[in-house]
Structure 1
Amino acid sequence: MKKTLFALSLGLFSCAALAHDMVPASAQSQPVLIHNARVHTALNGVLDATDVLFDKGKIVAIGQQLSQEGAKVIDASGQDLYPGLIALDTSIGIVEVEMMRASNDAFEVGDSNPQLLAVSAFNPDSELIPTIRVNGITHAQVVPQGDALAGQSSLVSLDSWTIEDALVATAPQFHLYWPAIRYLSKDNEVAAKQLKARDEQMTRLAEQLEDGYRYYLADKAGTVQKLDNRWQAALPLYQGKASLFIHANRSEEIERAIAMTRPYGFKLVFVGGYDAWRLADQLGEIGASVIYNRTLSLPLRKDEPVEMSFKIPALLKQAGVPFAIGFSGDWNARNLPFAAGQAAAYGLSKEEALKSITLDAAKIIGVDDMGAIAVGYRANLVLSKGDILDPAASKIDAVFIDGRQIDLNNRQQQLYQKYLKR
């Protein structure tokens, strides 16, 4: 409880001291008709010269020569219309300045914190948010960082007055950072200590998962003698009503994670997943999916080709592993569409690249009315004069979240205009 209150107090401090001055948009008050756009549906291909009508935050019609009395008409001739992008595995809104501890609420101490909610420290007024949504990102998964069981993530809208306004309902999302050795020392004595420490971490993790399972059995039988906030919060995970996001990259880590969690029947999502394409059969057997977040990174191993990280989304697709592309971090999450574009340049089709940051991202976090332009889906839309996946061509003119047109101004643009006048 003290940790949660501490995180909340830091979040309130951040809101007061580091707030942008863009006013959140009001609820959609009239129908909007986007006319004659090239519509990238992410569900039914690309539709040329097509109209999209949305009202009360939902898409109500898609076709040609649509009309609606009282609608605001936007002529999108020569422009592209995309679904709003969904940024997975981010610390948006919980980190303002990475090196300033008072504005960095991403980490918590301890290795058993399934009860902690990262969104409790989310700052909807973060200066970073307007700089991210200007690239077409409408929603973000706010993820806790830490050791082992680090807490729970949430999906938020990037235009809101409060945390409650921002939250999008999803099943609970628990995060486990798998014990790993980043660089194994060439010194045998040091390497032995590293391996011993990792094995001890794995033993503790196995004990924690078993403690949670025993608490679940006791709760199921009605024999819980003492309430434990940690395992009470984790009950949906053992009940099959939540997903466990395991942060792991190497084959050995992924295989060990599968083996350790298999007895509990968890719904698994691997975050990172650098080697996941090599383990397609094992992942398929348990129905696991992947959030790949290294598209713009260097290879994991020194003997791999420099373009290896760029190719992995295509390799995941070829292997039949369900995946989405994420971009871990805070301010640099704005590069998400360009990471997808990089994957498209190395074997993934452009349509699949777009799906990996829209529809497939929504599926992985269990949202069934986002990530595509289709009747009944939320009106999260991005209107651009160029390819949204190409940093040289993308020029976003309008962003809508739940039918509300968002102010695309931000501090960087304000400073740019200011210093043009010197």
Structure 2
Amino acid sequence: MKKILVSICMLASLMSYGQNPAPAKPQTKTIALMGGTVHVGTGQVIPNGIVLFSNGVITNVVDGTLVKLNLTDVDVVDVSGKHVYPGIISPASTVGLQETGAVRATVDKQEIGILNPNIRALIAYNTDSEIIPTIRNNGVLVTQAMPQGGTVSGSSSVMMADGWNWEDAALKKDDGIWLNWPNYFARDFNFEDFTTVVKKNDKRGPAIDALQATFADAKAYAASPAPAVMNLKLEAMRGLFSGKQNLYIRADYGKDIIEAVTFAKSAGVQKVVIVGGEEANRVVSFLKDNNVPVILSGLHRLPNREDEDVDLPYRMPGILHKAGILVSLSYADEWWRTRNLPFLAGTAAGFGVADREEALKMVTSNTAKILGIDNLVGTLEKGKQATLFVSAGDALDMRTNVIEHVFIQGRKVNLDDRHKRLYKTYKDKYEQK
């Protein structure tokens, strides 16, 4: 009996050691971050700033050399020599929807079927994911849970990187519908010689016909404020025609981008966002004329065409930004690399985005505007949620991004994660005494 009790205690101890930290408790006392370099997220930088927040809301952001505040009954945190940033926002992500790609039971990012606008990524979001604490440790505090699969994948929701369950973590529910535009070209990978063959997609005609019928039905359905019989698929698309929801279109080729946006506009969709956009540089004028923002997928890759400059993906944010297009950065399918999102902005700053603060906006305020949450997060301004972090150095540089404090809605978050636990485990084992 004693052996059984000892085994149970040891097992419980190991399980406790391997679990994520509990979600942070609500803020109870006003906090002031004093003396740090404050990156507001609008392009403004305050060298000796003070960020004051109470009850999870920012109450003041001022220059400490010009303004003196009454800090009675305030918890003062000295961040002199450090940098204060708004929480980085990860759009088009499957963090929280899948854990281990090779283990089917941990993957819940898509449903069976082709046209699934009624599927909600929201309810599949797993706040116990061990990936979530790792992204917090690089300053990624908000993520958009994105559905995948089929032609119309379902609706996404914007989630905070802290919470007991998806209800707690939800920042904006059902912010948009996701559409995988049928590509003009299809890519087939040849496993014999490890080459990719690009050919015309013969299946796109019927797929587009089905989309046209679905969107026509949805528009007609949305015209009735109270239909006699509710259709769950069409009901889920109602917000597309009133402007309450975005239509996120995954498209890469220039021809596909033009066709997809033209289709959406003709169908009556009010807000269109291109996701991926590998050839967005080829249709810059079209995107600008139609006021279409772009969420670029991972920049750390090679170009897809042999005749393109090898650094074209790195320069893409700068090309679009100079053309006046609203640009955001993401890792899309590479959910395990989401923690490196701030370094994509650092890459953009080194390859065409001359102003480093403009590059920061591509993972903060620009993303917030695209997702429709800029009234809540994305910048350090009075009235916004206190979702922010303190870094020992430049958050866009992987050499100096060392996160020391994280606050989500004013709640101070525990920065423990699986990476740190494993590092300590093997450091203790192999470090020379």
Q: Is the 8 A contact 2:388 2:408 kept in 1?
A: yes
CA contact (8 A) 1:51 1:66 kept: no
Deviation at 1:134, TM superposition (A): 0.4
Alpha-carbon deviations, 1:3-25, whole Å to 9, x = none? xxxxxxxxxxxxx9xx8331111
User: Following superposition, which runs of at least 4 residues in structure 1 exceed 6 angstroms of deviation?
Assistant: none
Q: Which residue of 1 aligns with 2:94?
A: 91
Tell me the number of residue pairs that the alignment of Structure 1 and Structure 2 aligns. Answer: 399
For 2:288, which of 269, 284, 287 is the aligned residue? 284
SS in 1 for 2:249: strand
335, 346, 354: which one pairs with 2:351?
Answer: 346
Map of 1:414 onto structure 2: 421
Query: What is the alpha-carbon distance in structure 2 between the residues aligned to residue 226 and residue 298 of structure 1?
Result: 50
Deviation of 1:343 after TM superposition, in Å, equals 0.7
Contact 2:291–2:325 (8 Å) recurs in 1: no
How many angstroms apart in 1 are the aligned matches of 2:166 and 2:19? 15
Q: Which residue of 2 aligns with 1:362?
A: 368
**C-alpha spacing 1:276/1:420, structure 2 compared with 1 (3 Å):** same
Q: Is the 8 A contact 2:20 2:416 kept in 1?
A: no
**Aligned-pair distance for 1:225?**
5.5
Deviations 1:164-205 (A, max 9, x none): 11001356311001112342799xxx987x532122222222
Q: Deviations over 1:218-256 (max 9, x none)?
A: x35x6x454321011111112332110000111100111
Distance of 1:169 and 1:132 partners within structure 2 = 19
Q: Which amino acid in 2 is paired with 1:301?
A: R
Shift of 1:375: 1.2
1:260 has 2:260 as partner: no
Is the 2:90–2:143 Cα contact (8 Å) retained in structure 1? yes
Matched, 1:240 2:239: no
Residue 82, structure 1, aligned to residue 89, structure 2: no
Corresponding residue for residue 395 of structure 1? 402
Aligned to 1:45: 44
In structure 2, what is the Cα distance between the partners aligned to 1:86 and 1:365? 10
Contact 2:43 2:357 in 1 (8 A): no
> Which of the residues 270, 291, 295 maps onto 2:299?
295
Q: Would the alpha carbon gap of residues 225 and 58 (structure 1) be closer, same or farther in structure 2, given more than 3 Å must change?
A: closer
Deviations 1:383-408 (A, max 9, x none): 01111011112111111111111111
Q: Contact (CA 8 Å) 1:249, 1:273: kept in 2 or not? A: yes
Task: Give the whole-Å Cα distance in 1 for the aligned partners of 2:208 and 2:158.
Answer: 29
Stretch of structure 1 that moved more, 139-148 or 269-278: 269-278
Provide the C-alpha distance between the structure 2 equivalents of 1:337 and 1:379, rounded to a whole number of angstroms: 19
- Secondary structure (helix, strand or coil) at the match of 1:49 reads strand
Instruction: Give the superposition deviation at 1:210.
Output: 2.0
Root mean square deviation, CA, Å: 2.1
SS in 2 for 1:88: strand
Q: Give 2:153's match in structure 1, choosing from 139, 150, 153.
A: 150
Report deviation, 1:274. Answer: 2.2
Q: Write the distance in 1 (CA, Å) between the matches of 2:215 and 2:402.
A: 47
Alignment CA distance shift 1:225-1:308 (3 Å): same
Matched, 1:314 2:318: yes
Q: Which amino acid aligns with 2:394?
A: D
CA distance in 2, matches of 1:87, 1:76: 25
In 2, are the aligned partners of 1:277 and 1:321 still within 8 Å (CA)? no
Secondary structure class of the residue paired with 1:317: helix
Alignment partner, residue 5 of structure 1: none
Q: Give the conservation status (yes or no) of the 8 Å contact 2:87–2:142.
A: yes
In 1, are the aligned partners of 2:98 and 2:107 still within 8 Å (CA)?
A: yes
Where 2:202 maps in the other structure, the secondary structure is: helix
Match of 1:10 in 2: none
Aligned partners of 1:88 and 1:326 also within 8 Å: yes
How many Å separate the matches in 2 of 1:353 and 1:44? 9
Report what 1:6 is aligned to.
none
1:74 to 1:182, Cα distance in 2 relative to 1, 3 A: farther
The 1:178–1:67 alpha-carbon spacing in structure 2 relative to 1, beyond 3 Å, is same
Percentage of pairs with the same residue:
33
Question: Which runs of 5 or more residues in structure 1 are unaligned?
Answer: 1-15
1:380 positional shift: 1.0
Q: Note the residue ranges of structure 2 that are not aligned, 5 or more in a row.
A: 1-14, 191-196
Does the alignment pair 1:137 with 2:137? no
Deviation by residue 1:279-337 (Cα, 9 ceiling, x = unmatched): 23322333221111131121121211110000000000111111111121322111100
Deviations 1:50-70 (A, max 9, x none): 111111111111221434211
Supply the AA of the counterpart residue of 1:401.
I
Counterpart secondary structure, 1:332 = helix
**1:380 alignment counterpart:** 387
Shift, 1:100, TM fit:
0.9
Structure 1 counterpart of 2:81, one-letter code: G
Mapped to 2, the partners of 1:399 and 1:97 lie a distance apart of 26
Which amino acid letter does the alignment assign opposite residue 30 of structure 2? P
